[in-house]
Amino acid sequence: MFSAVERKPDIAVTDTLQVPAIAEIDTVREQLLHFALGEMIHQFLCLTVDIKRSNLVDKLVTKEVIPPDVRRRIKEQKKTDAKVNILMTNLSEKSAAEFERFLATLSETGQHSVADVVHQALHTVGQTGQNPLRRHLFGKSEYIGVQMLSFS
């Protein structure tokens, strides 16, 4: 036969749980949203911008969105993907005004729909007036991954 034995658990609480403030979590979530949106816009532009259309690169130099040395580096590339990657990398370092000039130049070169999609996405999340390609959150983009793991 089996008999029931009453046991006391050997559990001791040695430390208190540190729970982040709700405002801190909301801030991180908002920053994650902006980071994800920027990444999505970056991928969208890489796939849809027609860099050969209507001398886009030359017009970007004329409008002082990119410098002549970037135009040279772009034109030296043989593959379209490499050209677009150089352009997107350079655009990620630009101010909001310069990014807006890039979108205006896209429209002027017959790529209205591409610029409109980016404008609409930024408007929807209330991120107008910013360059979504900038990836410098908290000073370092790697920090966002640590924060994401900490609060998930």
Higher pLDDT, 145 or 36: 36
- Cα torsion through 96, 49, 113, 68, rounded to 10: 50
The per-residue pLDDT for 47 is: 95
Percent share of the chain, pLDDT over 70: 71
Confidence of residue 70 (pLDDT cuts 50, 70, 90): very high
The per-residue pLDDT for 126 is: 78
**H or E element at residue 110:** none
Residue 35 phi, psi (nearest 5): -65, -45
**With a threshold of 0.75, does the pTM exceed it?**
no
Is the per-residue pLDDT at 43 higher than 60? Answer: yes
pLDDT digit string (tens) for 74-111?
999 999 999 999 999 999 999 999 999 999 999 999 99
Residue range 112-120: mean pLDDT, rounded: 95
Is the per-residue pLDDT at 127 higher than 70? Answer: yes
Residue range 123-134: mean pLDDT, rounded: 84
Is the per-residue pLDDT at 140 higher than 80? Answer: no
For residue 65 the two structure tokens come to: 């969105």
